[in-house]
Amino acid sequence: MIKVTTWQKILKDTKKKISKNFKYIKDDSLICSFSENLLKNFFDVVVKKNGKVLIAYKKSKIVGLLVMENKSIDSISFFKRNILNISLNLLFSKNMSDKKILLRYFFNFLFMKKDNVIIKNNIILVAVVPSERGKNIGKKLIKKLIKLVNSNLFVSTDSDNFRAQNFYKKNKFKYFKQIYYGIRKLYLYKLKNN
């Protein structure tokens, strides 16, 4: 049985246990590659700024994750503030995929436009462990978020991530516009009934 809960509702000691490693959820994600402390700090900051962190779990294993920032500037500020910590962590990681993430992170910052429009209620990550995909866990995470936020919701995804685009369309989002995040070309989707 899959359950979805919020980061705030997870007890302190459980938080420590579950923050250990999220890499297995999405191995090319910057957030999932964070160290234990960074991940905990990041989630705490997102929540403090009125964002949402939702966790899907099966027994005691985390199988899905959704992060929505209140304003699209929140995560960028966090990444900037922790640039040294994040870079060193990725540089000395044993995972090859972390070196790619570091390169992408570096180029995205280099080419980040200063005049980017600020997006409110911006979902920055939805990910389900590969072995559990296609079992409606992603859908459950989105449903819970809609219930909690109940106002304009946005999500952007890489222009070539057709799987995610299809997933958002099936979950009441519609294409809004194309945006750039550093060197990444993204498609921004907006929740339909708003």
Ligand X SMILES: CC(C)(COP(=O)(O)OP(=O)(O)OC[C@H]1O[C@@H](n2cnc3c(N)ncnc32)[C@H](O)[C@@H]1OP(=O)(O)O)[C@@H](O)C(=O)NCCC(=O)NCCS
How many residues contact ligand X, by CB under 6 A?
19
Q: Which of 10, 86, 102, 128 binds ligand X (CB under 6 A)?
A: 128
Residue of the chain from 134, 147, 151, 193 that contacts ligand X (CB under 6 A): 134
How far apart CA 118 and CA 139 sit, in angstroms, is 26
Q: Which is nearer to ligand X, 3 or 16 (CB)?
A: 3
What is the distance of C-alpha 80 from the center of its chain? 16
Count CB neighbours of 110 within 10 A: 9
Tell me how long the chain is.
194
Q: How many helices (H) and strands (E) does the chain have?
A: 7, 7
Q: Which of residues 8-27 bind ligand X (CB under 6 A)?
A: 26
Q: Which residue of this chain has its Cβ atom nearest to ligand X in the complex?
A: 138
Which residue, 122 or 157, has its beta carbon nearer to ligand X? 157
Residue 127 is a binding residue for ligand X (CB under 6 A): yes
Backbone angles phi, psi at 8, to 5 degrees: -65, -30
Give the distance, in angstroms, between the CA of residue 171 and the centroid of all CA atoms in the same chain.
17
Q: Which residues bind ligand X (CB under 6 A)?
A: 26, 125-128, 133-139, 157, 161, 163-164, 166-167, 170
